[in-house]
């Protein structure tokens, strides 16, 4: 299990919770819980002052149940598809 220090180091280096979780092999919600001590599902209701002091996000619920990644949105996938289309020797008619 990653430590709070490990998660905080990644966040300080510019990672967000999704990236920190991916690099540590855990969910983004667990990375948030480890770093802040608060669950990402929104079940904790700290005051605005406590939220600022603890570095909590205004809304963290999407970290507890993130949408699945769409691999077709990656530039590498788009370039691969474009290359496959260019390499296709069949004429295209619409």
Segment 41-88, tens digit of pLDDT: 777 777 778 778 877 777 776 777 666 777 767 788 888 888 888 887
Q: Give the chain's radius of gyration (CA, Å).
A: 20
Look up the pTM and report it: 0.57
CA 33, CA 11: separation in Å to the nearest integer? 13
Assess contact for 28 and 59: CB atoms under 8 A.
no
pLDDT at 9: 96
DSSP 3-state assignment of 68?
A: coil
Assess contact for 26 and 2: CB atoms under 8 A.
yes
pLDDT at 58: 73
Q: What is the DSSP letter of 67?
A: P
């Amino acid at each position: 299990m990653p430590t709070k220090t490990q998660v905080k180091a990644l966040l300080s280096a510019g990672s967000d919770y999704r990236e920190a979780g991916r690099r540590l092999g855990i969910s983004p919600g667990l990375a948030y819980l480890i770093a802040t001590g608060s669950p990402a599902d929104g079940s904790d209701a700290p005051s605005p002052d406590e939220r600022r002091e603890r570095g909590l996000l205004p809304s963290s619920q999407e970290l507890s149940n993130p949408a699945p990644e769409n691999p077709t949105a990656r530039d590498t996938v788009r370039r691969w598809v474009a290359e496959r289309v260019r390499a296709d020797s069949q004429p295209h008619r619409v």
